[in-house]
Amino acid sequence: MTDALNKFPGVMWPRFHRNNDEHLNPYYTFQDYRQTWGMTIFILMTTALLPLIVMTLIYYQLIETSINTESLLRTERLASNARRAVTFFLEERLAALTFTVNEMDYDQLTKPESLAEVLRNLKLGFGGLTDLSVIAETGTQVAYAGPFNLEGKDYSHQPWFMECQQHNACVSEIFSGYRDVPHIVVAVKSMRPDGRFFVLRATLETERLIQTLSSYKTGEHADIFLVNRNGLLQTPSQFYEGESHQVDISLPAYSDRTKAVISTDRNGQPILIGYAFIETAMAPTSFILMVVKQKAGMMKVWLDLRSNINWFFGISAVIIAIVITLTSTVMVNQIFHADRLKAETMVAAERNCQLASIGQLAAGVAHEINNPLALINETAGYVKDLFTLKHQYKEDTELVEHIDSIIDAVARCGTITRQLLGFARHFDVHAQPINLNDMVTDVINFHKKEAEYRNIKIHVDIPETIPLIETDRGKLQQIILNLVNNAFQAIDNGCSLGVWAEMEDPEHVRLFIRDNGCGISEDHLNKIFEPFFTTKKEGKGTGLGLSITYGLVKKLHGNITVQSRTGQGTTFVVTLPVQLKEETRV
Amino acid sequence: MKVLLVDDEEKFALMLAKRLELRGINTAVFFSGEQALGTVEQGNRFDVAILDVKMPGIGGIDLKRRLRQLDERMKFVFLTGHGSTIDNAAVDQEVENCLPKPLQIDVLIEALNRLTEEP
């Protein structure tokens, strides 16, 4: 638990976010861990969320389309049913009037008592009739039965009267007329035996029609009403009742079929409009039946569900994002830590190897100095012998000769010491022009004795045309030293070692170090630059030499490759830039 | 006592020979294994051979093996100026009679005396 708590700040503010160990950079797996972290999160988020988002949007689209289709169908069906009811209501009454004029002639109908009788029968049979009147060809009302006394009124200029003359029957709009009460006039024309015509007119109460319409109304988001062809309301409307009684929906063109469309109302809200032009079999009417449904109201259930889905989706996305971010952070941080450990080990190993190189160098120098020292020892011992064992040699010239010998041996030691100091200076880190030939010769010289004893032939061929290369002397020296050491360890006595160079292009030099020793098997070939890889017996090699060489070559912006065949030998090729890049120069 | 001294460092060999002569030890000096083999092949006999381990051509260890074939009674003392890895294996076998350079003359004399007194 405490362990987890201790780790927590590391998770919140991961170590790789403040990576500033520039000197470790060449050994890291990734250039920029923050970028890697960002990319990881981005890729994971995209993979996790994108399909989900796309599927959800497609699903929404499908649901909405299906709801629209279904709603339009329902609206259309509702309009169709209501139209049938209204048409039937009107046709029924027109048919009753037609029956009456066919059954009774003009004379009978103009008798007040018989007209009243007909009105009574019609009220009993159908209901919804207010009054009944007979209008002569001139438009003058000649007989009337009903609650208002409108006898003698002239209807010749009433639109329904004119229409009635045209179609033999008519249905008026709802209007107030002389009596100031909203009503519908239905009338049928009939011929008298003398060739003149008369009109039997009935006034219908609007109540029955409004009730019929209301019975089709479903829910509070739906409205059903009649308008005339000018958009004037004919029956009460829930949505459009106002001063003007004018419906502000653009009226559709005439059609004999029921239709439904999606539109927007005056507030820009989507609505479904179903409409039907009312036609009776005997006469056209100016009624248009309208069904208006507010889409928002109908979609409410779906919108609520969608809102819930959106919330669920949003919360899930946030949780996914948090999990991905935390996981990526922890993973990248762990990779970073592992890499950092590796890099630190590599840097430490490189330092150790440098120390080892210096140690090896010192040992080489000590060996070199040993021979002159042995000679000094013997010569000085001999001089001492002369003094102690043979007193007569006091003035002998031979003594001078032997002392010269001592001086000469000391001079040899001096030369070697100077070489050692010169070599040690080369560990300073800075780019400087270097003659590759001199450097290779320097390094080979340290192996000269060993080569002599082991009868190893060394061929160095660095052409004069290779220019001075600007690079870090110490590092290049170590690279060559490591590779030559490696070759010496790989070859048997009597084999040969070749070092040569060529220009790859005007900006790069290639240095070849080839031995004809035991070679490297294919299995090992791709591992040899890995740290701690060695084929030597335990305790004999660290497995760091080539790995560090690799790191050094990379530091000098170069490249190192190896070709080898078991039993035939190995060639290392080091490619180096002639000019070290500006920013890396010290 | 007759001693065969072989070392490629000529001045060193000559100087050491002089010191041994001063001590009454009869010393033949050669600068290579081949020369030394030649003289023994010609029938010259020595009590002890002082051989440098590292020499171009026939090295000390190899030379001992070949001298042994010519003269079974010969004793050997090795000199080494190198602790180098290549010679370690060989030096290990002869560790008892292997003396480091620079030499202490008394130690060498002692070794020679000890070897010649052995049966």
Which of A371, A386, A450 minimises the CB distance to B81? A371
Tokens of A174: 């709802």
Q: What is the pLDDT of residue A1?
A: 46
Nearest to A195 by CA among A106, A89, A280: A106
B22 in A contact zone (CB under 8 Å): yes
Whether the per-residue pLDDT at A517 is higher than 90: the answer is no
Residue B38, CB-side half-sphere exposure with 13 Å CA sphere? 9
Mean pLDDT of chain B: 84
With a cut of 90, say whether residue A315 has pLDDT above it. yes
Residue A32, amino acid: D
- Nearest chain B Cα distance for residue A516, angstroms: 19
Chain B nearest C-alpha distance from A47 (Å): 60
Domain A66-298 adopts which CATH fold?
Beta-Lactamase (3.30.450)
Tokens 């027109």 sit on residue: A94
**What is the percent of chain B where pLDDT is above 70?**
87
Our CA-based measurement puts residue B22 at a distance from the nearest CA of chain A, in whole angstroms, of: 7
Can you give the residue ranges of every domain in chain A? 66-298, 427-586
Put simply, whether B84 touches A (Cβ < 8 Å) is yes
Contacts of A389 in chain B (CB under 8 A): 22-23
Q: Is A445 exposed, middle or buried (0-12, 13-18, 19+ CB in 10 A)?
A: middle
Residue A4 DSSP symbol: H
Q: What is the pLDDT of residue A187?
A: 92
Look up residue A25 and give its DSSP letter: G
Which pair of structure tokens corresponds to residue A399?
């003594």
Residue B26: the pLDDT is 93
Q: Which of A363, A375, A390 lies closest to B12 in CB terms?
A: A375
Give the integer Cα–Cα distance in Å for A55 and A22: 46
**Considering chain A, what is the average pLDDT of its residues?**
82
B-chain CB neighbours of A378 within 8 Å are 12, 15-16, 19, 102-103
Locate A417 and state its tokens: 């010491």
Count chain A–chain B contacts defined by CB atoms under 8 A. 65
Predicted confidence (pLDDT) per residue in B94-104, tens digit: 556 788 788 88
Nearest chain A CA: its distance from B60 CA (Å): 11
Q: Are strands B98-100 and B75-80 parallel, antiparallel or unpaired?
A: parallel
Give the pLDDT of residue A474: 78
Residues of chain B found within 8 Å of residue A373, distances taken between Cβ atoms: 101-102
- Residue A381 touches partner B, C-beta closer than 8 Å: yes
Nearest chain A residue to B7, by CA: A371
> Who among B11, B55, B105 is closest to A375 (CB)?
B11
CA pair distance A357, A542, nearest whole angstrom: 13
Tell me the nearest-neighbour CA distance from B82 into chain A, angstroms.
6
Q: Which among A370, A376, A450 has CB closest to B81?
A: A370
Residue A211, chain B, CB below 8 Å: the answer is no
Using an 8 Å CB-CB cutoff, list chain B residues near A371.
9, 12, 81, 101
Is the pLDDT higher at A466 or at A519? A466
Three-state DSSP class for A367?
helix
Phi/psi at B23 (nearest 5 deg)? -95, 10
- The DSSP symbol for A283 reads -
Q: Which two tokens stand for residue A54?
A: 């796309």
For residue B22, which residues of chain A lie inside 8 Å, CB to CB?
382, 385-386, 389-390
ipTM of the complex: 0.83
Confidence band (pLDDT; 50, 70, 90) for A584? very low
The DSSP letter of residue A511 is E
> Mind listing the pLDDT tens digit for each residue in A359-383?
666 666 776 777 888 888 888 888 8
Distance from CA of A428 to the nearest CA of B (A): 28
Q: Can you name the residues that pair with A204 across neighbouring β-strands?
A: A129, A184
pLDDT for B16: 93
What's the structural domain count of chain B? 1
Q: Tell me, what CATH number does B57's domain have?
A: 3.40.50.2300
Mapped onto helix, strand or coil, the DSSP state of residue A555 is helix
Contact A247, A231 (CB under 8 A): yes
Q: What's the whole-number mean pLDDT along residues A372-398?
A: 79
Angle (nearest 5°) at CA A133 between A128 and A134: 140
Cα–Cα distance between A78 and A291 in angstroms, integer? 8
Q: Which residues pair with A244 in a beta bridge?
A: none
- For residue A382, the chain B residues in CB contact (below 8 A) are 15, 18-19, 22
CB contact under 8 A, A375 and B22: no
Minimum distance, in Å, between the CA of residue B42 and any CA atom of chain A: 27
User: Which residues from A are below 8 Å from B16, CB to CB?
Assistant: 378
Q: What percent of chain A has pLDDT over 70?
A: 88
What residues contact residue A230 under an 8 Å CB cut-off, 6+ apart? none
Residue of A484 and A26 predicted with greater confidence: A484
Across the interface, which of B19, B81, B86 has its CB nearest the CB of A381?
A: B19
**Residue showing tokens 């948090």:** A322
SS3 annotation, A173-205: EEECHHHCCCEEEEEEEEECCCCCEEEEEEEEE
Interchain proximity A377–B84, CB inside 8 Å: no
Burial grade of A148 (CB within 10 A; 0-12, 13-18, 19 or more): middle
pLDDT band at residue B83 under the 50/70/90 scheme: very low
Q: Do B22 and A450 touch (CB under 8 A)?
A: no
Lowest average pLDDT, out of A192-201, A375-384, A397-406, A527-536, goes to A527-536
Nearest to B9 among A375, A390, A405 (CB): A375
What is the average per-residue pLDDT within A107-126?
Answer: 89
Distance from CA of B119 to the nearest CA of A (A): 30
Tokens representing B21 are 């002569």
Nearest CA in chain A to B59: A453
Alpha helices (runs of H) in B1-119, residue ranges in sequence order? 10-22, 33-41, 60-70, 85-93, 105-117
Q: Residue A406 carries which side chain, given as an amino acid letter?
A: I
**Tens digits of per-residue pLDDT, A279-295?**
888 888 889 999 988 88
Q: Which ranges of A126-176 does DSSP label H, i.e. alpha helix?
A: 159-167
Q: Which residues of B touch A450 (CB under 8 A)?
A: 84, 86
| CATH 3.40.309.10 given to domain A427-586 | no
Domain with B69 in it: 2-117
From B55, B59, B103, residue closest to A378, measured CB to CB: B103
Q: Taking CB atoms and an 8 Å cutoff, what residues of chain B touch A376?
A: 102
Q: Which of B16, B81, B84 sits opposite A450 (nearest CB)?
A: B84
CB A329 within 8 A of CB A37: yes
How far is A12 from A18, CA to CA, in rounded Å? Answer: 12
CA A77, distance to chain mean position in Å, is 45
Q: Using CA atoms, how far apart are residues A378 and A141, in angstroms rounded to an integer? A: 166
Q: Which two tokens stand for residue A583?
A: 């920013």
Per-residue pLDDT tens over the stretch A14-35: 777 776 677 777 777 777 888 8
Contact A375 B105 (CB under 8 A): no
Looking at A42-178, which runs of residues are DSSP E strands? Answer: 129-136, 141-145, 169-175
Position A422 scores a pLDDT of 54
Chain B nearest-CA distance from A25, in A, is 36
**CA A436, CA A355: separation in Å to the nearest integer?**
23
pLDDT value of position A3: 55
What would the pLDDT profile of A427-451 be if each residue is shown by its tens digit?
445 678 889 988 898 888 877 777 8
pLDDT of residue A301: 83
How far apart, in whole angstroms, are the C-alpha atoms of residue B10 and residue A284? 143
Who's near A105: CB < 8 A, 6+ residues apart? A192, A193
DSSP symbol at A534: -
**Are A332 and A33 within 8 A, CB to CB?**
yes
Q: Say if residue B88's pLDDT is above 50.
A: no
- Whether B82 sits inside 8 A of A370 (CB atoms) is yes
